[in-house]
Structure 1
Amino acid sequence: MKQRIDGQAMERFIVLVAVSLLGVALSGCTAFFGTHEKRAEAQLLPTVGNTARGTVTFIERSDGVQVTYNLAGLPPNSDHALQIHERGDCNAADGSSAGRVFAPAADELRSGVRVEGDLGNIHADANGVTSGFIVAPDVSLDGVRSVLSRSVLIHRDPSDPYAFPAHGAGPALACGPIKQ
């Protein structure tokens, strides 16, 4: 028993198939056009007379910016300040062209308050290598608290959270501009 499909039924069938295929195609597009995380990276190179180098990656999350670091060439079994500085300029041999520690709020005026750019201290193992991550809730990858176009520095000494480190915690061992 053969059944004929009239023109209107065929049109509805074609439209239904086309809409279904379009839905399937568009659902796969989120891999290409969906929300992408905001991220930036800094390639740290050693300052003159030092060997520290590595990568620091910044990924914006709902609770702040996740700062992931992979560094080598540090003195064995040592602690160092990881800090963001105001300018994305690492041209000076000692890293001083990066300017002061990033502090967009008036926190730098209050004693005992850690400024936004002071991400904390990191520890190098017996081989002078360190990796890990820090969540920085007071910085972002856009707006006034953005770390983009600034620099990240590794300092010789650990930071002291009770004193404002205007120029960092000792000389810079490595410096890298933060780029998207």
Structure 2
Amino acid sequence: MKNYLIIALIGVTLVGCKETVKEEENKEETVEVVEKTATATAQIAAKSNSTVSGTVTFTENDGKVYMKADFTGLTPGEHAIHIHENGDCSAEDGSSAGGHWNPTKEEHGEWEHKMFHKGDIGNLTADENGIATITKETDLWCISCEDETKNIIGKSIVVHKDADDMKSQPSGNAGDRIGCGEIVLEQK
């Protein structure tokens, strides 16, 4: 006897679930439905007379958000990258993005150390051609969830001229904002 399983996918993200299907002789087989992912992106535009551009992609699956950021047009060396509180990159110097995203009111610091902002991603290193990539995976962020202490939608990604020293308050003494892009939910 053939069994047919019809799965209706409703919404942007499915919560993982299991469905039991009866087989011949009353044996049971568990079929796991794969969780559909949510995706958000930030298109980075040059600020403060820089030539920076790039794309930051966020993908959420099984309660974790994976970030991959690719940049060009940087000066060789280290540059800070942060999530800022406002999804507004309209100011020529990126100041419209506001301060670091810090929904839990912590001091600035290094990611996953004693105290840090949820927007304190860290530093990336540009090669001699001005190209840089950085990745991060965390359960401290979410994409379009109801928890405002985790939801990254409507925030912005800012790349700075200098490295983050991980200690100066309130933002790591990272210098000018040279790239900015709003984090936007991708619609499928």
TM-score w.r.t. the length of structure 1 is: 0.76
CA RMSD of aligned residues (A): 2.7
Alignment of 1:47-58 (within 5 A): 47-58=47-58
Conserved 8 A contact 1:113-1:164: no
Q: Secondary structure at the match of 1:83?
A: strand
Amino acid at match of 1:57: T
In the alignment, what sits opposite 2:84? 85
Q: Secondary structure at the match of 2:106?
A: helix
Q: In 1, Cα distance between the equivalents of 2:173 and 2:183?
A: 17
- Tell me how far 1:130 sits from its aligned partner: 0.9
Q: Secondary structure at the match of 1:54?
A: strand
Length, aligned pairs only: 157
Q: In 1, Cα distance between the equivalents of 2:51 and 2:85?
A: 23
Q: In 2, Cα distance between the equivalents of 1:51 and 1:174?
A: 8
Conserved 8 A contact 2:165-2:173: no
- Identical residues among aligned pairs (%): 31
Conserved 8 A contact 2:108-2:120: no
C-alpha change, 1:109 and 1:176, in structure 2 (3 Å) is: closer
Q: Secondary structure at the match of 2:124?
A: strand
Q: 5+ residue gaps in structure 1?
A: 1-15
Amino acid at match of 1:98: A
Is 1:123 the counterpart of 2:128? The answer is no
In the alignment, what sits opposite 1:46? 46
Q: In 1, Cα distance between the equivalents of 2:152 and 2:106?
A: 17
Q: What do residues 139-163 of structure 1 show as CA deviations (whole Å, max 9, x unaligned)?
A: 2222212110010010111112223
- Tell me how far 1:59 sits from its aligned partner: 1.4
Q: In 1, Cα distance between the equivalents of 2:53 and 2:140?
A: 25
In the alignment, what sits opposite 1:179? 184
C-alpha change, 1:165 and 1:63, in structure 2 (3 Å) is: farther
Q: 5+ residue gaps in structure 2?
A: 15-33
The structure with the greater share of residues assigned to strand is 2
- Tell me how far 1:135 sits from its aligned partner: 1.9
Would you identify which runs of 4 or more consecutive aligned residues in structure 1 move more than 4 Å?
none
C-alpha change, 1:107 and 1:171, in structure 2 (3 Å) is: same
Please identify, of 59-68 and 152-161, the stretch whose mean Cα deviation from structure 2 is larger: 59-68
TM-score w.r.t. the length of structure 2 is: 0.73
The structure with the greater share of residues assigned to helix is 1
Conserved 8 A contact 2:108-2:168: no
Q: What do residues 86-116 of structure 1 show as CA deviations (whole Å, max 9, x unaligned)?
A: 0000000000000010000021389x62211
In the alignment, what sits opposite 1:113? 115
Between Structure 1 and Structure 2, whose CA radius of gyration is higher?
A: 1
Is 1:169 the counterpart of 2:171? The answer is no
